[in-house]
Amino acid sequence: MSKKRQEHHEEHVDESWLIPYADLLTLLLALFIILFAASQTDQKKYQAIMQSFNSAFTGGIGQFNFSNLIPLSTEPNIDQKKYDQPTDPATPNAAEQQQKQQQQMEKEQYDLQQLKQKLDQYIADNKLTTQLETKLTEDLLMLTIRDNALFSSGSATVKPEAKQLAGTISEMLAQYPDYRIEVAGHTDNVPIRTAAFETNWDLSAKRALNFMKILLENDKIGPERFRSIGYGEYHPIDTNDSEAGRAKNRRVEVSILRSVKPPQMIDAAAKQP
């Protein structure tokens, strides 16, 4: 009897090893799928593979449940990155910034044109066309005043009659509080050496400073908007070989500066070495 039982037992081979073997094959298959997906840079394809993989194994076949797989960290492609990147609502985009700059330029152009008309009307009404002139450029509005309208020869003291002119100019400037003002002094190239001024640098700087001080006597304008500078003889607008040319070079310039420059000026400045 024992022999028969033994032979009957040997006919049924133990196949329980197939279960862990099948699980091992399943894990290897899952590993290769994950490695393949990780090697791809397309995030959408990766997600599709992972979803298919999870759907196939959510039933819990074998010893592991693959429904809780954590997606690998992959770098999305350029297009996906463009759309997935969060937008900060506090940071305006380039189009909004360009629109704001355009609006600011239009406002400044309108303001400076209005101020130029007021100055030109004052010059015409007081017959000062030979002593004062205005010029509107892409970066400023400039009022040029001949030196004989403000100072005596070789002096930096503002003439008493010129203080009324300075008061009128300051009243106009007070109506445009958003602009910075530069007062610049210029001379001709005739050397000067006196007890008060050693060079034309000193004379031009003192003239600009003294005229600026007269403008600042108006309490309606803030001194933080102003600066003065002396250029001496080194920025002539005419020849120094004639008396008429030298007379034009001796001047004070009051410049109302734009805060936003046109795009072509910004590009030109960027190209400069």
pLDDT digits (tens, 9 = 90+) for 204-262: 999 999 999 999 999 999 999 999 999 999 999 999 999 999 999 999 999 999 998 76
CB 145 within 8 A of CB 154: no
Distance CA 126, CA 147 (A): 17
Mean pLDDT to the nearest integer, 23-28: 82
Amino acid 33: pLDDT: 81
Mean pLDDT to the nearest integer, 153-167: 95
The token pair that represents 77 in the structure block: 């492609």
Residue-wise pLDDT for 4-19, tens only, equals: 555 555 555 666 777 7
Amino acid 104: pLDDT: 92
Q: Give the model's confidence band at 137: pLDDT under 50 very low, under 70 low, under 90 confident, else very high.
A: very high
Share of the chain above pLDDT 70, in %: 70
Whether residue 83 has pLDDT greater than 50: no
Amino acid 54: pLDDT: 66
Q: What is the mean pLDDT of the chain?
A: 81
Distance CA 229, CA 204 (A): 8
Distance CA 87, CA 155 (A): 61
Residue-wise pLDDT for 42-81, tens only, equals: 666 666 666 766 665 555 444 444 444 445 444 545 455 4
Nearest in space to 138 (alpha carbons), one of 257, 16, 245, 2? 257
**In this predicted structure, which of 5-9, 24-28, 95-99, 189-193 has the lowest mean pLDDT?**
5-9
Mean pLDDT to the nearest integer, 81-105: 71
